[in-house]
A and B are shown apart, each in its own frame.
Chain A
Amino acid sequence: MHEKFPWSHVFGFLLSIVLTCMTIWIGLYTNFSHSFILYLIVGLAFVQAFLQLFMFMHMTEGEDGKMKTANIFYGIFVAVIVVLGSLFTMSFGM
């Protein structure tokens, strides 16, 4: 745990900036279809989220590492159901 210099932190930070810029660029400066843009930027968001969970928050460390990771996946499972389920239920067309 005692690295000489927090390389993983810096790496996580820089990568997050890159992913953020990519999101802006894809959203505002490309001509992809709206739904394709949406898939891309949401995908990038998940990548950045996992990056931060792992690199900044040390999600997997410690004797409870597996439990904490499972807990976050469970939270994501619920989040996906709530968001997609609400959009599905409130769609009035499907």
Chain B
Amino acid sequence: MKFQWDTFFVTGEPMILGAQISLLFGAIAMVVGLTYFKKWKWLWTEWITTVDHKKIGTMYILCAVLMLFRGGVDALLMRIQLTLPNLHFLDEHHYDEIFTTHGTIMILFMAMPFLMGLINLVVPLQIGARDVAFPYLNAISFWLFFIGMGLFNISFIIGGSPDAGWTMYFPLAGTEFTPGPGQNYYAIALQIAGIGTLATGINFLVTIFKMRAPGMKLMDIPMFSWSVIAMSLIIVAAFPVLTIALALMTFDRLFGAHFFTMASGGMPMLWSNLFWIWGHPEVYIVVLPAFGIFSEIISTFSRKRLFGYGSMVLSMLAIALMSYLTWAHHFFTMGAGPAVNSFFSISTMAISIPTGIKIFNWLATMYKGKISFTTPMLWAVGFIPNFIVGGATGVLLAMASADYQYHNSYYLVAHFHHVLIAGVVFACFGGLHFWYPKMFGHILNETLGKWTFWIFVIGFNICFYPMYFLGLKGMTRRMVTYQADLGWTGLNEVATVGAFLMGVAFLILCYNIYYSARKGERDTTGDPWDGRTLEWATSTPVPHYNFAKLPNVQGVDEWARMKKNGENLKITEEEVKEIHMPNNTGKAFIISCFFFVAGFGLVFEWYWMAILGGIGIACGLLLRSLEKDEGYHVSVEEIKRTEGLSRGDEHGTNK
């Protein structure tokens, strides 16, 4: 069959052509830049082969911010199309592709990596560890995510994006109605990235359980790290379900199986069932670390211990467990019987109870605290009322019989954006601001941060509040345009204004990052916020081995306790011992590249390529198994040098 260049590369769409050209120029610019500044070796040794959790965390966040841009542009394009009735800014096909990629990217390639980035950066430091349990596996996780992200993102210029919604319902997602590589991108890219996520879940469970600093009991673990435990428990149980669901989808599309394709006995609803068995726990995977971030921020900026530590832990574990019992509320209207719908209605409403407990605990933490409204605190405090709105509308949606009215209307769209943005995105922004000085040694500008916050939150509400009313007026989601006489125009115009305000806020955030890199207030104390947990006990920049001297933990909020008692982690010359650290490795990156080759081959059904990629993966795994890499030891001299950099209390690393 003659290779068809005009279907392989997406053609005929001026906007996509523009994107293709700018991506090409961007890639060329990067290659030229790296060559001109002679940074290839630096890129390889410092970033591509790193197994340092702090660097991996930074790379995750960088990718997440890039994906926030892409997903945000998708959103703005949709909002432009919907501002007025009967616009032809985007045709149906293009619109479908955009809402599909918007959803998939925001959840899987923006929210997940943003949180994974913060988790990677912070958790080992918070528990007083020198690294994660499996640094090499950590690198694999990142590069598999990166490859999955790359594979998914090139779809809109090569082959065509998936367009059956981020939920990919059958039979639309089957080859009968959607032939071509688009949907295959979804199945394969998410599969690859999902392997990385599963590995991260296992990695952090073992890390937090087995690598805590001496003395740190389970109930002394900082709340953010506890949220990571709860998140990881969900990951190890939910992601395998997605793995199978995507594999079954792949079999249906590539090999003619009949799991979900209606001919010969397949059941399309089975896809929805399996997808949401993963999908509902997934939203808790993103929201629980977000709750953890808020716990840290609120207690730090109220200068008070988090209220109700025990109930916070229990509620997160309860949420994790209960998240498995609610999935069918995503398809109440698909024809399951009354017993099924009733069960899931009740379980869905029940899960709001542990969440409510957490909200009360946050408020109680703030009560009688010495509150300072820094930017991170604004994000955390702003989360509370906004999330409550989203949560309350969720309870309304949980009522199965009522859901027949608002399922798949803009009421639903408003609800999930309210919980996801207020819950997860606010946490990402707040967490970024909060831990930024630990990552980069300077603080993001407060004024710009506050502008970002207010414009974003106001824009966010202007965008999504009207959607509740649009939903009640009957506007359905995923529709490319609507008629003028429906009376929906006014509210849509308002929503578009809100969306652009969010875009403006994002630009201010980007400018903040640029401005603060050049002129921002430098932090050399390592503890600019007077923090309460051990990550603030490290110096800035954090040495690659994290702690020269491990703390002996005596309770919750150990760093706050240490400061109160005048203790610190200053190490004396006699105490310095060699530290064992893992070696960098290029294998993680290379194995992931073979995953890309295999994945690309499967997407286009070029099985020779898929097999080649598979062989590469197998060789990489075998080489890794045979390799005798014991890591290396950081010498006592190097540690003394790093710790003794300018003796004195305000400067240098020795604290």
Contact = CB atoms under 8 A, between A and B. Distances in A.
- Contact between A and B in the complex (any CB pair below 8 Å): yes
Interface in A44-73: 64, 67
Interface of B: 209-210, 233, 237, 241, 267, 269-270, 273-274, 277, 324-325, 327-328, 335-340, 343
Contact of B274 (A67, A78, A86, A94): A86
A74 B336 contact: no
B256 to A, nearest CB: 22
A86 B337 contact: no
A85 B335 contact: no
Interface residues of A, number: 16
A90 B270 contact: yes
B237 A92 contact: no
Contacts of B336: 89-92, 94
A85 B269 CA distance: 14
A94 B324 contact: no
Contact of A74 (B209, B237, B241): B237
A81 B237 CA distance: 11
Contact of A75 (B237, B325, B328, B339): B237
10 contacts: A78-B237, A81-B324, A82-B241, A85-B277, A86-B273, A88-B340, A89-B273, A89-B336, A90-B336, A91-B336
> Chain A interface mostly helix, strand, loop or mixed?
helix
Contacts of B337: 91-94
A86 B340 CA distance: 10
Contacts of A90: 267, 269-270, 273, 336
B522 to A, nearest CB: 43
Given A74-B233, A81-B324, A86 B267 contact: no
Contacts of B335: 92
Interface of A: 64, 67, 74-75, 78, 81-82, 85-86, 88-94
Given A90-B267, A93-B337, 12 more contacts: A74-B233, A75-B237, A78-B324, A81-B325, A82-B241, A86-B270, A88-B343, A89-B336, A90-B273, A91-B340, A92-B335, A92-B337
Nearest to B337: A94
Contacts of A64: 210
A77 B210 CA distance: 24
Nearest to B274: A86
Nearest to B339: A94
Contacts of B338: 94
A81 B328 CA distance: 12
A91 B270 CA distance: 11
For the residues of B in contact with A, the DSSP-based class is helix
Nearest to A79: B237
User: Taking each of A78, A88, A93, which has the highest tally of chain B beta carbons within 10 Å of its own beta carbon?
Assistant: A78
A46 to B, nearest CB: 19
B43 to A, nearest CB: 39
A76 to B, nearest CB: 11
Contacts of A78: 237, 324
Nearest to B272: A89
Nearest to A87: B273
5 closest A-B pairs by beta carbon, nearest first, are: A94-B339, A78-B237, A94-B337, A89-B328, A81-B324
Nearest to A63: B210
A86 B274 CA distance: 8
Contacts of B209: 67
Contacts of B270: 86, 90
A82 B277 contact: yes
Nearest to B335: A92
A87 B484 CA distance: 45
The residue in A74, A82, A88, A91 that gathers the most chain B C-beta atoms within 10 A of its C-beta is A82
From A78, A85, A89, A92, name the one whose CB has the most chain B CB atoms within 10 angstroms: A89
Contacts of B340: 88-89, 91, 94
A35 to B, nearest CB: 18
B169 to A, nearest CB: 15
A93 B339 CA distance: 9
A85 B210 CA distance: 34
A64 B335 CA distance: 45
Contacts of A74: 233, 237
B246 to A, nearest CB: 15
**Most chain B beta carbons < 10 A, residue from A67, A92, A93:** A92
B237 A86 contact: no
Nearest to B321: A77
A68 to B, nearest CB: 11
A86 B336 CA distance: 11
Contacts of B237: 74-75, 78
Contacts of B324: 78, 81
Contacts of B273: 86, 89-90
A39 B74 CA distance: 52
B330 to A, nearest CB: 11
A82 B275 CA distance: 11
A78 B327 CA distance: 13
A67 B202 CA distance: 13
A93 B337 CA distance: 5
Contacts of B277: 82, 85-86
A74 B205 CA distance: 14
Contacts of A75: 237
B136 to A, nearest CB: 21
A8 to B, nearest CB: 28
A87 to B, nearest CB: 10
**B273, B339, B343: most-surrounded residue (chain A CB, <10 A):** B273
Nearest to B325: A81
A47 B176 CA distance: 44
Contacts of B328: 89
Nearest to A88: B340
A92 B337 CA distance: 5
A91 B339 CA distance: 10
A75 B233 CA distance: 10
A54 to B, nearest CB: 22
Contacts of A91: 336-337, 340
A91 B325 CA distance: 17
Contacts of A67: 209
B326 to A, nearest CB: 10
A83 B324 CA distance: 12
Nearest to B281: A78
Nearest to B331: A89
